[in-house]
Amino acid sequence: MSAHIQVAVGDTAPDFTLPDAQGKQVTLSSFQGKSSIVLYFYPKDNTPGCTTEACAFRDNYEVFQTEGAEVIGVSSDSEESHQDFAGKQRLPFILLSDKNGATRKLFGVPASLGVIPGRVTYVIDKKGVVRHIFNSQTNPLKHIEESLTVLRKINAE
């Protein structure tokens, strides 16, 4: 698979397994049939935009749960960094460590300015189908808003 292939709306989300903040392996397909997934890729733990985004997901986490969704954040940071970030910000959702960026490549998440890892959110339904993709490096809060709108649409179907 070429690195230039991008996941599109309507595609089945590519499956992957990555370690969470505690080092436990988490596989995307294990959520299939159980919950929708809001999978968000972000540049780096403890940076202003990423902290704003993570805290907004935290503050709306119960709403996501009510909408039948699990929130999963992915960056290239280590498990230790995620543990620190999640502890400091009291994040109730899963953070996964994509150290070599393979999962980011698998989804075709573009880099901003060619160097900064992209900030892209994928809303994946219970069947594992990508229903929405939102890409904005500079508007972290819009990721939460967009995701909730799409989840409500999916749930109304």
Catalytic residue positions, numbered: 50
Strands 111-112 and 69-75, how do they pair?
Answer: unpaired
Instruction: State the DSSP string of 12-71.
Output: BPPP-EEEBTTS-EEEGGGGTTT-EEEEEE-S-TTSHHHHHHHHHHHHTHHHHHHTTEEE
Shortest CA distance to 50 belongs to which of 86, 25, 92?
86
What is d(CA 4, CA 123) in angstroms, rounded to the nearest whole number?
Answer: 21
Q: Tell me the C-alpha distance between 138 and 79, whole Å.
A: 25
Q: What are residue 72's DSSP bridge partners?
A: 39, 94
Query: DSSP 3-state assignment of 129?
Result: strand
